Amino acid sequence: MLLRPLIRATAWLRLAVPSLLLGACLLLANWTERAIGFAESPLPVTQTLRYQSGMVASSTASGVLKGVPVALVFEPGETLGGVLGGFGLSGTETTQLVGQLAQFADLRRLKPGDQYAARLAGKDLSGFELVVAGKGVASADRRGGKWEVNWHQFERSVHRNKVDGILEGALETSIEAAGGEASLSLEMADVLQWDLDFTRDLRRGDRFRVLYERVHLDGRYESIGGVVALIYENRGDVLEAYRFGTDNGYYDAEGRPLRKMFLRSPLRYSRITSRFSRRRFHPILKLHRPHHGVDYGAPTGTPVRATGNGTVLSAGWDRGGGRTIKVRHPNNFVTAYLHLSRFADGVRRGKRVTQGSVIGYVGSTGLSTAPHLDYRVQKNGRWIDPLSLKSVPTEPLETERMPEFMAWRDEARRSLGKEPFEPTDRVLAAGIGGSSS
């Protein structure tokens, strides 16, 4: 009789012990991971904590209790009213303070990551600061049961910086190696987007010089202000761009506008995965058929730009092309954007779009094996290779403005360095970001 309970207990132990050991191992691994993350985190612990009584020390200044401010950020789903209520403010007081802060900030535009700071006097909120990105700080102080809000405008200053480098790998890392910011690569792509396709034209050994602006707020670096002038040597061809005029347009060394009828690429930065072909093997249908476009590989959700001004012919499902947008342009041109994940807000038949505006987002709808954009161009009803499209330039500068432009160009060249590059006999290596053919 005693044997059966013993057998059951033994069987239970055989099942329970491994499970308990496994649970203990998982718990230990989780604790270890959290400990390593804590030790390696570059952020101070106080940035992850909420206010609690006693977190800050208070002092008396001009008869008003003030605490030491602690910087925090808005979390997803948080509102200014909710944050203030969390510090113990009544509904009436919260409404009053929100109304005063709204004079200096569009509170509807607050988003996760936006900064604020709070000060406590004992258990009560004595001060609150709301940082308005790129503009200033609204500082609120509680005085005699009422809130007084003052506005501090950030002092904005612009400094010019120059980078001089050689393309040895990715453009971003090459710029950083030359002493610039990686984000400058996107600014350069925007300036040269009509003449240089950054997805296929860049080559190892390309040289660049860029004069650009760095914006500082209250003495601290904030962002890039824009490219002033640049010289880029690509496969022996030298491209020059100079910002000029009230519209801040870019012109080449002879005063011709860089802006043309079509952009070289509908994506700012990507890679070509398939080219225009009269006979290509389809990866899904398993047969040879024409491929009337150029495929750009990019993650789902990457913004797709209209390559020229025009009117939307259609925006909907187009059989194997999935979600597709077609745009009609002057001179009997039509561009098509296939396999989109979704359309941009407001894009529909009859909608006017401007060059460079976002009309959709990369996806993998229709007959597609991976996220990409199939970009097509039609001229007079016939599909043509988008990469062979020769853009039509816009009108050059007026004759009377040319002396002023030439003087500015020469000044910019002196700032950039020797004019424009010394001759070189180096051999260009394999392409970066696309085929070398």
pLDDT tens digit sequence for 278-330: 555 455 555 545 777 888 988 999 999 999 899 999 999 988 899 999 999 98
Q: Are 322 and 365 in contact (CB under 8 A)?
A: yes
pLDDT at 287: 54
Average pLDDT, integer, range 203-212 = 93
Instruction: Tell me whether the CATH fold assigned to 46-153 matches the one assigned to 271-388.
Output: no
pLDDT at 396: 73
- Got the DSSP string for 270-330? -EEEE--EEEEE-TTT-SEEEE-EEEEE--TT-EEE-SSSEEEEEEEE-GGG-EEEEEEET
Nearest to 44 by CA among 12, 22, 71: 71
CA dist., res. 77 & res. 96, Å (int): 22
User: Which positions ≥6 away from 334 have C-beta within 8 Å?
Assistant: 313, 326, 327, 328, 377, 378
pLDDT tens digit sequence for 213-251: 988 877 878 788 889 999 999 988 899 999 998 777 899
Sheet (strand 70-73) strand order: 70-73, 115-121, 124-132, 136-143, 146-153
The helix (H) or strand (E) run that includes residue 40 is helix 3-40
Return the amino acid letter for 31: W
Q: For 40-82, list the strands marked E by DSSP.
A: 58-61, 64-67, 70-73
- Got the DSSP string for 77-89? T--HHHHHHHTT-
pLDDT tens digit sequence for 383-432: 888 887 766 566 678 889 999 999 999 999 999 986 676 654 433 333 33
Longest dimension (CA), the chain: 114
pLDDT at 417: 83
pLDDT band, residue 435 (cuts 50/70/90): very low
Length of the chain, in residues: 437
Burial class (CB within 10 angstroms; exposed 0-12, middle 13-18, buried 19+) of 50: exposed
Model pTM score: 0.54
CA dist., res. 109 & res. 98, Å (int): 14
Average pLDDT, integer, range 122-140 = 83
Give the residue carrying structure tokens 């200044």: 61
CA dist., res. 372 & res. 296, Å (int): 5
The fraction of the chain above a pLDDT of 70, given in percent, is 75
CATH code of domain 157-260+396-416: 3.10.450.350
pLDDT tens digit sequence for 164-192: 999 998 899 999 999 999 889 989 988 99
Q: Report residue 396 as tokens.
A: 């050059």
Residue 437 scores a pLDDT above 50: no
Lowest mean pLDDT across 25-39, 126-140, 158-172, 392-406: 25-39
Domain residue limits, the chain: 46-153, 157-260+396-416, 271-388
Pick among 3.10.450.350, 3.90.110.10, 1.10.150.120, 3.40.30.10: CATH of 46-153: 3.10.450.350
CATH code of domain 271-388: 2.70.70.10
pLDDT tens digit sequence for 319-346: 889 999 999 998 889 999 999 999 999 9
CA dist., res. 314 & res. 304, Å (int): 16
Give the strand pairing for 207-217 and 220-234.
antiparallel
The 10 Å CB-count burial string (b at 16+, else e) for 308-347 is bbbebeebeebeebbbbbbbebeeebbbbbbbbbebbeeb
